[in-house]
Every structure is written in C-alpha cells, then in structure tokens.
Amino acid sequence: MTPTDDLLKWRPEFPILASTTYMVTHSLGAMPNRTRERLAEFAETWATRGVRAWEERWWDMPKEVGNLLARIIGAAPGTVLMLPNQSTAQATVLSCFDWTGPRNAVVTERLNFPSNLYLFHGLERLGARIVTVPSDDGMTIDIERLLAAIDESTKLVSVSHVLFKSSAVQDLTAIVDRAHAVGALVLADLYQSAGTVPINVDALGVDFATGGSVKWLCGGPGAGYLYVRPDVRATLQPRLTGWAAHRAPFAFDDGPIDYADDVSRFANGSPAIPALYSAMSGYEIIAEIGVPAIRAKSLRQTRQLMQLAEAAGLRIVSPREDRARGGTVVLDVPNGHAVTKQLAEENVLVDYRPGAGIRVAPYFYTTDAEIERTIDAIVVARRAALPAAIRV
C-alpha cells in the first residue's frame, strides 16, 4: 500500500463511486454524501425560518462560503466572494475598468475558456484592444511569447492557470512578475486548478482570481467565486453591480451606488443560496485532505494512466512533464465522441472535447484498478467505433 492510498477511505462519502468509474471530475465532481444533508438544511431553514433566514445567515453566505474556498487557494479571509458562476465573476472584474486610454489592452491566450474570450471581445466595443496569444500545438501557449505580448499598453492580463482543453499548467509566477513590472493587473481563471493543483494567490500576488465549484471542488453548479487582492479592492468600482454591493443595501438608497468597503463591493443581486449550501461540503473535504496530498496522488495516477495509454497505442495530448500537467490526461482517440458514449453505456464516465480529445481524470477517490478499466474500455470501444473494413 502506498501512503496516498489512504485517500481511498473517502470513497464511501461519494455515492456515485459504488456504481460508476468516475473519471470526469474536470467536468463535474462527484457529489459528497453530506451535500444531501446540507441541501436538506437549506430546505428546513426556508420552511421554518422563512424570511428571517436572510438576516440569520443567508445574506452573508457569499462571504461565509467564500472564506471556506479561500483556504484552498491561499487567500486571506474576507477576500473571496461567491457569485453565480465564473463568467459573472470575470465580467465583474472587466466592468471595473475604462478601456479608452492608451493603456487599453487585454492580453490573453487562444486556449482560455470561451466565456472569457467572448467577454474580452465584447470590450472592443468600449475601446479595448484584445491581444490573443496563439497556440502552436493546440495544447500549450509558449510562455515567452505570452510574456512578450505584455507591455505598457496592457491594462489586464487574463489567463487560465490550467488550460481546460489540454490540462497544461501555465506559469502564473512569470506572468504576474511581467505584468506588474509594466503596471498591468492579472486575472487568473483557476477553474481547472483549484482543488487539484496547489495555488496560493496571496503569495503569487495575482490581482484577481475566478473559478467555480462544479469540478475539482465537488461543489455543484451555481457557486462561482471571485478573489480580489485586498489592496486593489478599494480602487475599483464595478459597473456590473447591484444592491447587494451597496454599503447599506437595506437602506434602499436611490443611485448612484455607494459601494461597500469589503468584498461585497463585487456583488450584484440576491445570492444563489441553495448553490452555496451545496458547495460547502466539497470545500470542507478538499481542505481537510489538503491539495498537496491530492496533487501527489494525481501526479502518480496520471503518470500511470499515460503509461497504460501509451502501451495501448493511444496518443497523449497533455503535457508529459509533471510540473506542466494538471489533473486531466487528454487522449486523441479517433471517433472520440462515439467512444465516450460507448464508455458511458458501461458506466465509465469520461468526456470528449472537439479539437482536444477524450479527457480522463482520476481524482483522490480513484483506485488504480479504475484507471486500468478505463484504458481497457477505451481500447475496446475504439475498435468497435472503427469502420469494419479497417478493424484488425
């Protein structure tokens, strides 16, 4: 038994593992058992406390749950606010700036998540210039090219920590250093890293970080988050706003808004309370295990997965080097969509992304045998998906 096998003791906490080989946490993490209790608690509170629930707990839950998340990404208490999703969190940051002056560029990468790219291009209507660093191999972004794109005209550098299509890890330290050296701010999308790749936003000095709970945090939909560096917070006045961002929301003052001093400044309307209840258990479990232990197991199992895939003749389109690879391995399998569907019939869950391939993710709850089963199932399904004439 390797020491990391200790993590398998968590398996009974995730009901789906009893019936399913669950290799798709990069898309939707498995639900913890105790989430049922948390959701029941939400229903009970609503049923019995009614409108009093707002002042007894609900109104401050975006900050309460944000503090649970903060521990996972190395943020100080009071610096993270929960928002309905990652796209809203990014849009809130972008709405803080004026894009008309000489410093009007957003530097980003072609492999950033589509929502983010759509939002940046929307800023062109407000005078922003979008500098998108291309990818030569569809898997990585050359870091020197990215750093060279950042100059005195850059207002914001917006990148993903781990790229969603290939699971490549980007060098946030180098990006933050370069951006700050020329007076630009950095917005990092942590959706594919937080929980599975260690990150410390405080030590890194990143200005903004965004993400959500659906994937590695096992927290379910509707619970995105926004981290803002405390010393930049007071200078920002988001245009994407609402009454929850007011310093005294229940005064129902007419406009213009008088922003709250704390992280509520980045809120908009009423928070998505059931989603916050559903997010908490995953955060607690990840924090209890600790991301370094999760990462150590992930590196071991993704290496195992790549060895088996290679031995089976499957092409790997994720970085091989440990430090450059997140929690997912992407395999370029012909007829990937059909193969993924066939696996689902057999209760082996992976997913397929056009232009990337089949994404396979072990997590702290995965056994080594499940990795073997997944590769075996892909090999068999790949043969079945080939036209009969070329099957061997």
Ligand X SMILES: Cc1ncc(COP(=O)(O)O)c(C=O)c1O
User: What is the contact surface with ligand X in residues (CB under 6 A)?
Assistant: 85-87, 113, 115, 160, 164, 189, 191-192, 212, 224
State the nearest-atom distance from the C-beta of 29 to ligand X, in Å.
12
Buried residues in 365-382 as b, exposed as e (16+ CB within 10 A)? bbeeebbebbbebbbebb
Contact 104/127 with Cβ under 8 angstroms? yes
Q: What is the residue type of 327?
A: G
Output 115 or 367, the one with its CB closest to ligand X: 115
Output 220 or 362, the one with its CB closest to ligand X: 220
Contacts of 367 by beta carbon, 8 Å cutoff, 6+ apart: 8
- Taking Cα atoms as reference points, which of 26, 16, 15, 21 lies closest to residue 377? 21
Output 28 or 260, the one with its CB closest to ligand X: 28
State the nearest-atom distance from the C-beta of 357 to ligand X, in Å.
15
State the nearest-atom distance from the C-beta of 324 to ligand X, in Å.
16
State the nearest-atom distance from the C-beta of 236 to ligand X, in Å.
21
Alpha-carbon gap, residue 278 to 47, rounded angstroms: 17
- Taking Cα atoms as reference points, which of 213, 232, 112, 128 lies closest to residue 161? 112
Contact 223/275 with Cβ under 8 angstroms? yes
Residue 215 DSSP label = S
State the nearest-atom distance from the C-beta of 389 to ligand X, in Å.
38
Relative orientation angle of helices 86-94 and 114-123, to the nearest 10 degrees: 20
Output 30 or 257, the one with its CB closest to ligand X: 30
Q: What is the residue type of 199?
A: I
Alpha-carbon gap, residue 211 to 209, rounded angstroms: 7
Output 212 or 319, the one with its CB closest to ligand X: 212
State the nearest-atom distance from the C-beta of 26 to ligand X, in Å.
7
Output 331 or 361, the one with its CB closest to ligand X: 361
